[in-house]
Homo-oligomer: A and B are copies of this chain.
Amino acid sequence: MKLLKKSKILIVGLGLIGGSYAAALTKKGYQVYALTKEEESIEFAKAHNYIIDGKTKVDEEFISSFDIVIFSLYPKIFISWMKEYHTYFKEGTYILDVTGVKGSIVYEIQDIIKNDKIEFIPTHPMAGREVYGVQNAKYDLFIGANYIITPTDKNTKEGIELAKEIGSILEFKNISILTPEKHDEMIAFLSQLTHCIAVSLMTCKDSIHLKEYTGDSFRDLTRIANINENMWSELFLMNKKELLAQMDLFIREFEKLRDAIESDDVKTMKDMMRLSTKRRSYFNK
């Protein structure tokens, strides 16, 4: 399926990410509606021309009027929603999500759907801000960011193409395809581990009185220490096995450096720093 200007798109969950999807898709000329908990979010999104209209209650007639439905909910709420209402979609509907963990939800959602005329294509837009809600949504949130599609053998070529097209419309820089498992390993390392480090760095010492001595390094490492505890604790537990593996990998390496310092092992220290510098150079934007 090719995304058409006349396709009707529903965003379920009008928060920061859902709101930014709505804002960006509307700006590009698509027809966007919303389903979300708070009337206030609908009013805000309408007033800012992010959506044509929206509802706060699930309603079969409404749900079945859409060609594409994009879920921007917490993982567990997404699963419950699907269990309860999956029969409301019309045949031919394409469903996407924005969930940050994949292995523990992708197969379950695809199993829930049953109907093989309805396709769920799992996607993960790797973008965010330290603020929440549709009030902080931005149509340009995804420009230059990374977008990952994690299809299974239940997905069709058309479904995957549609997900890619949405990624292009939102102006992601890299659009990649990974298995749900590879995605989760990668996300455990790049995103979840880094959040665990930032949180621990912030909580291990009362550093508030150190504010006037803080250079950029402490600020950089703790920017993401401003964290939504409900969302992140859920994401951590839904990816527990991989996250623990990456945390243990990091602890071992950190202790290697610690022990090198303790024993004046300058060679190990310098070897690590050289490798670090070399690898980091590949990440310069």
Interface residue ranges, A against B (CB under 8 Å): 126-128, 145-146, 148, 174, 176, 178, 186-187, 189-191, 193-208, 210-215, 217-230, 232-233, 236-237, 240, 243-244, 246-258, 261-262, 264, 266, 269-270, 272-277, 279-283, 285
Contact = CB atoms under 8 A, between A and B. Distances in A.
A228 B148 CA distance: 34
Given A197-B197, A215-B145, A229-B273, A186 B210 contact: yes
10 contacts: A186-B213, A190-B207, A197-B197, A199-B276, A201-B250, A204-B252, A205-B249, A214-B283, A217-B224, A222-B280
A206 B203 CA distance: 28
A190 B122 CA distance: 40
Given A186-B213, A190-B207, A214-B146, A229 B199 contact: no
A176 B212 contact: yes
Contact of A215 (B190, B214, B227, B228): B190
Contact of A261 (B126, B225, B237, B257): B237
A216 to B, nearest CB: 8
A269 B244 CA distance: 14
Contact of A279 (B187, B208, B230, B244): B208
A190 to B, nearest CB: 5
A203 B253 contact: yes
Given A190-B214, A237-B264, 5 more contacts: A146-B212, A193-B201, A201-B250, A211-B282, A227-B273
A211 B279 CA distance: 10
A245 B215 CA distance: 20
Nearest to A222: B280
Contacts of A197: 197, 201, 221, 254
A218 B186 CA distance: 11
